[in-house]
Chains A and B, each alone.
Chain A
Amino acid sequence: MKLHEYQAKEVLASYGVPVPEGRVTHFPYDAWMVSMELGLPVVLKAQVLTGGRGKAGGVKLAKTSDEARDIAQELFGKKLVTKQTGPQGVIVRKLLVEKAADIDRELYFSIVVDRTTSKPTVIASKRGGMSIEEVAEQYPEDIIKIPIDPAVGFLPYQIRRLKYDLELTAQEKEAAKIFSALYQAFSEKDCSLLELNPLVVLKSGHLLAVDAKMDIDENALYRRRDISRMRDLTESDPDELEARFSGLNFIKLPGNIGCMVNGAGLAMTTMDVIKLAGGEPANFLDVGGEATPETIAKGFEIITRDPKVKAIFINIFGGIVRCDKVANGIIQALKTVEVKIPVVIRLTGMNKEEGMEILKKAPMQFYIAEDLREAAKMVSDLSNNKNNETEKKPAEKAKAGKKEK
C-alpha cells in the first residue's frame, strides 16, 4: 500500500525526522490561507499515488499567496499523466502546501528489502533530486549500498560510514539521529520502500526531508492498523477495490477479452497466451483458491461492466478447487448476472470429467475448449468477430447467459 507524501511525512515526523512545515488542502482558497500562515514562498505538491509527478507538472513554487491560489486552482482536478499512470492519468484531489526550503544541496536516501540478499538495504547518494535510476546509470560510483542484518539493526559504524560518504561531518549528531530514526520507522511500520529524494542540507546547515515516499507491505497491514487507516480509497480504481473486498485480485487492462483464472501465475499466462493468439486481455483476474458461485458472479459482474469487453475466457486448473464445484459455480453465477457476450471455458485438473458433464447439461451455452491453445484462439477470434470454424458450437452463436429453457 502506497502512502501519500503528506502521510509519509506525518509518520516520519513522529519518529523525529525533520520535515517541512505544511498542510494538506482541498480547495484553492485553502492554499491561499495556508500560504499566508506558513510564510512565502511556498511549494504546492499534488498528492497522487504515483511517481514522476514533478515532471508531469504536479509540483510548483508560488512566490505570492495569489499565485498559490491560482496554481491550486489550476492543479485541482487536473489529470496528471506520468510514466507510471498510463494515458488515463490520475486526478489531483489534494495539494500539500509547504514552506519552501532554502536548499544548499540535495541527497538521496532510501531503504528497501533487497530480494537478492534478503536483507533490508540502505541506498544513499550525494546526488539527490534526480531519479536514482539515472544516478545509477551516470554516476554508479556515487551510490552507496549498505545491507542491514535484521538481527542487529542499522549499526553505528554503518551510520558513520554513510555520514562520511554523504559529507555530513558538520551535521554529525543530527544525521546519525535521523538515519537511525529512518531505519526504525522502516522496520516498525513494515515498509517495503522508504525513500527520501531529496533529503536536503539547508543553507542553515540542518537536514530536512523535503520529499518522502513510503510503501507498506500489504501482508503486514493486519498489525499496522494506524497505517491501514490511511488508505486513500479515492486513489484506487473502483472496480479493483470492489474486487478486493470480494477476495478477488483484479487489475484492469486496455483490451477486450475478460479473463477469469485461478492462480496468479496462470492468470498472467492466460493474458500472455491471449495476446499470442491475436487477442487483447481486458484484465488480470485471479479468483484465488476458492472459486465459489459468489466470487465467480462478482467476477462476471466486474468484467462485463467494461463495455469494451467482447468475450470472456474462464481458465481454471482444478487443484484445491474441484472442477465440478467450479462448473456449478459458473452456472449459479450466470443465473444471477446477465452475460450477453460469448464465454469460453477451459476447465481441467481435479474432477474435470464431472465438471464438463455439468457444463454440457447447463441451461446456457458456452464455448468449451480442451487446452490453453485452443481456448486462446477461440476467445481471440470471438473478440475479433471472426466467425471461423474454431468454435465447437458454430451453430449456436454466443448465447451464454440467456436464461431460457
Chain B
Amino acid sequence: MAVCVYRTSRVVVQGITGKEGRYHALACRDYGTKVVAGVTPGKGGMDVEGIPVYNTMEEAVQNNHPNVSLIFVPPPFAADAILEAVGSGIKTIVCITEGIPVLDMVKVKRVIEKENVTLIGPNCPGIITPGATKIGIMPGHIFKRGSVGIISRSGTLLYETADQITKAGLGQSTCVGIGGDPIIGTDYIYWLERFEQDPETEAVMMVGEIGGNAEEKAAEYVKNHMKKPVFAFIAGRTAPPGRRMGHAGAIIMGKSGTAEYKYEVLRASGVHTIENPGYIGETIYKTLKEEYSL
C-alpha cells in the first residue's frame, strides 16, 4: 500500500518548461513516476523529452488524464496555478514553490477545503513512496521502501531523517514534506490519520520545527487516535525568539511555539521524542526492536 501516492499515480507538472520544472519532471520520470503531461501557458504544443506540454490544465486533463499535479510555478502566479489545478478537477496537488504571499494562501486554503482537495505544501520537497513513485524534488536514492512513515515541515531535514532511517536498516512507507509556510494545505493530523490506516506503515516519524502550534495539535491527535508508535524531533531549540529562521513559519512568538514546549506536550501525549538529531535513525530502530518487537 503506502499513502496518498502510488505507482499508478499519473502526474502533470505545472511550470514544466522552467529550469527547475524541467529538471525535476525528468528526475521524477527517471525514478519511475508516471509523468504524463506538463502545463506552461504559451508553450502548448511543445514537448519536454516526450512529455506533452499544454497551455491549460483543462487540456492536460482531457488528453492525458493526470490525477496528481506537481507545481513549480513562480510565487506571484503559484496560487493561481493551484486554483487552476483545482478547477480542472485534480484532487491531489503538490506545490514546491517557495515564497507565496500569505494572503494568497488564505484564499487558496478556503477553496481547497471546500473542494476537498489534498494540497501538499507549498514550500515543500513533495512526497515519495520509495521504489514506486516520487512526486517532488528529493534525491530518490536515499530512500528505501520500508515501514516508517515520515512527515516533515522541512525539506533537507526530511532527507536527513530518511537517510538516518535507511542507514539504521529500516525503510520508509511514504515520506511527505508538508511545507515550511504559515499556511499549508495539509497538517500532521491529516497524515497521521492516513499512516495509522496504512497496513504497510508500522511507525511514524514527525519532523517538526519551532513556530505555530501544529505539533501541539498533532500531539493531541496521537494521544486520542494513534495506536502505532510515533516519534518526533523539533528543530530550532537554539533559535532566538522573534527571528524568522528561514521558513516563514519558523518563528517563536511568546511562550508557545518553542521547541521545549512542543517536546513537553509531545512527551505527555505518548510520543517518543528524539532530542538529539544525530540519533534519529538509531533511536527509532532500537525503540521499535526493544519496545515493540518489530
Q: B-contacting residues of A (Cβ < 8 Å)?
A: 84, 86, 113, 115-116, 118-120, 133, 149-151, 187, 190, 192, 217-220, 222-223, 249, 251, 253, 261-269, 271-276, 281, 284, 286, 317-320, 348-350, 371-373, 376
Contacts and interface: CB of A to CB of B under 8 A. Distances in A.
Contact of A263 (B106, B107, B155, B276): B155
B277 interface: yes
B4 interface: no
A219 B248 contact: yes
Contacts of A113: 102-103, 106, 182-183
Given A113-B182, A319-B155, A276 B276 contact: yes
B232 to A, nearest CB: 13
Nearest to B99: A219
Contacts of B233: 269
A276 B233 CA distance: 14
Interface of B: 20, 75-76, 99-107, 109-110, 125, 137-139, 141-142, 152-160, 163-164, 180, 182-183, 207, 209-210, 212-214, 217, 233, 235-243, 245-250, 254, 259, 275-279
Contact of A116 (B76, B107, B213, B277): B213
Contacts of B106: 113, 118-120, 150
B278 A373 contact: yes
Contacts of A119: 106
B110 A151 contact: yes
Contacts of B246: 249, 263-265, 267-268, 284, 286
A324 to B, nearest CB: 13
Nearest to A274: B238
Nearest to B153: A265
14 contacts: A115-B214, A249-B246, A264-B154, A265-B153, A265-B155, A265-B247, A267-B246, A268-B210, A268-B235, A269-B157, A272-B277, A284-B245, A318-B139, A349-B142
B245 A149 contact: no
B105 A268 contact: no
Nearest to B76: A222
B160 A372 contact: yes
A217 B245 contact: no
Nearest to B246: A264
A317 B160 CA distance: 7
A273 B103 contact: no
Contact of A118 (B109, B137, B153, B278): B109
A267 B164 CA distance: 17
Tell me what chain A mostly uses at the interface: helix, strand, loop, or mixed: mixed
Contacts of B248: 218-219
A208 B162 CA distance: 55
Contacts of A274: 238
Contacts of A373: 276, 278-279
Given A113-B103, A115-B213, A319-B125, A267 B183 contact: no
Question: Most A CB atoms within 10 A — which of B110, B138, B213, B278?
Answer: B278
A220 B101 contact: yes
Q: Which 6 A-B pairs have the closest CB atoms?
A: A265-B154, A264-B246, A263-B156, A373-B278, A265-B157, A220-B101
Given A150-B110, A267-B246, 13 more contacts: A115-B183, A118-B106, A151-B107, A219-B75, A263-B157, A268-B209, A268-B245, A271-B236, A272-B237, A273-B276, A284-B246, A317-B156, A349-B142
Contacts of B236: 268-269, 271-272
B107 A150 contact: yes
B140 to A, nearest CB: 9
B100 to A, nearest CB: 6
Given A115-B213, A120-B106, A133-B254, A264 B180 contact: yes
Contacts of A263: 154-157, 246
Contacts of A149: 110
